[in-house]
Amino acid sequence: MSVVAALPVRRGGRVVLALLLPGLAYLTLFFLVPFVSLIVTSLMTPLGPGQFAYSFRVQNYVESVGQYLPVILRSFGFALLATVLALAFSYPLAYVLAVRLRRFPLLQALGLVLVVAPFFISFLLRTLAWKQILSDNGPVVGFLQAVAILPPDARLTGTAFSVVFGLAYNFIPFMALPIYASLERLDLRLLEAADDLYARPSRTFLLVTLPLSLPGVVSGTLLTFIPAAGDYINASRDFLGGTSTAMVGNVIETNFLTLENFPVAASLSIVLMAVILVLVGLYLRRVGTRDLV
């Protein structure tokens, strides 16, 4: 055995294959092939609930997009609003934890645990908790009506507001953590340098802090936007939604699981995925970050 052969880089071959094969086979079988199944299903001819025939019916797409265009637009609108809200909420919080508390590791650790805390209580139960808190007889509506911000007959649950609110809340940990991670690596001496060069704090932030935390902002916004666009729990009528807040996820769920109208559900899934890929592609090109994984 030569010296080079002893290095893991060269020994590779069979070992690498053995390491990769199970995982790749799994992903192929249960991720790539299902995508093909989804496309095949989306082109079937529906013959009634649960009944369908193999075909190449592109018209399914025309029909489902035509019928559900407002719902699709609403989904992306809600997801975008929720992402912006979550970003505005999380950035200053992550900044305080990562930069201001850097000299206090114990406080920093505690704050970080509190930021991820919502992740550990059931997603559905915490959404239901908001439903009760925002309900017509709840404290928030009562207060807003008392100070006349909200008209006496207005409500919060079942509106677009509560759905966007719920989406933003539920994905805050996914937004805050990546931002925290990139701000934690921020070299404070750069801020001092900007300060020494007489930059105002706002300029320092815009020209130094923000650009250096951009990778975290990009991952955070993607980790919020993508699941939010496909979510249907917040918009569900039993949770924070109402009759006029349905998102594309709700339509896919109803068509797949209740109506068993698989072609419509499958074509909408493909449309959702395609729009997300296009938007994410454009976004990544615009902000220019490539290292995501």
Partner 1 sequence: MSAPAPAITRRYGLGAGRIALAVYAVLALVFLLVPIAYTILFSFNDVRRTNIVWRGFTLDNWLDVCAEQQVCTAFGTSLLVGAVSTVIATALGTALAIALGRYRFRARGPITLLLFLPMATPEVVLGAGLAAQFLTAGVEKGLGTIIVAHVLFCVSFVVVTVRARVASLDPALEEAGRDLYASPSQVFARITFPLLLPGIAAAALLSFALSFDDFIITSFNRGAVVTFPVYVYTAAARGIPAQANVIATAVFVLAIVLVLAAQLSAAARRKRLARR
Out of 77, 84, 184, 256, the residue judged to bind partner 1 by CB under 8 A? 256
Largest CA distance in the chain: 84
Nearer Cβ to partner 1, position 69 or 88? 88
Interatomic CA distance for residues 77 and 161, integer angstroms? 12
**DSSP secondary structure letters along 112-147:** HHHHHGGGGS-HHHHHHHHHHHTSTTSHHHHHHHHT
N-to-C CA span, the chain: 35
Residue 257 touching partner 1 (CB under 8 A):
yes
Q: Per the structure block, which two tokens stand in for 215? A: 């990778």
Residue 229 touching partner 1 (CB under 8 A):
yes
Interatomic CA distance for residues 132 and 239, integer angstroms? 9
Out of 116, 214, 259, 279, the residue judged to bind partner 1 by CB under 8 A? 116
Nearer Cβ to partner 1, position 141 or 270? 270
Judged by CB under 8 A, the chain residues 117 through 156 that form the site for partner 1 are 117-130, 132-133
Judged by CB under 8 A, the chain residues 230 through 249 that form the site for partner 1 are 230-233, 238-239, 248-249
Contact 134, 159 (CB under 8 A): no
- Rounded to a whole number of angstroms, the minimum distance from the CB of residue 237 to partner 1 is 9
- Rounded to a whole number of angstroms, the minimum distance from the CB of residue 269 to partner 1 is 5
Contact 45, 56 (CB under 8 A): no
**Helix, coil or strand: residue 197:** coil
Residue 111 touching partner 1 (CB under 8 A):
yes
Total residues at the site for partner 1 (CB under 8 A)? 94
Alpha-carbon distances of 203 from 27, 199, 208, rounded to whole Å: 46, 6, 8
Judged by CB under 8 A, the chain residues 4 through 43 that form the site for partner 1 are 6, 8-9, 11-12, 15-16, 18-20, 22-24, 26-27, 30-35, 37-38, 40-41
Interface map 180-219 toward partner 1 (x if CB under 8 A): -----------xx--x-----x------------------
Judged by CB under 8 A, the chain residues 57 through 86 that form the site for partner 1 are none
Out of 69, 110, 282, 287, the residue judged to bind partner 1 by CB under 8 A? 110
90: nearest Cα among 62, 121, 112, 73 = 112
Phi, psi of 155 (to 5 degrees): -135, 165
Out of 83, 108, 182, 261, the residue judged to bind partner 1 by CB under 8 A? 108
Nearer Cβ to partner 1, position 99 or 214? 99
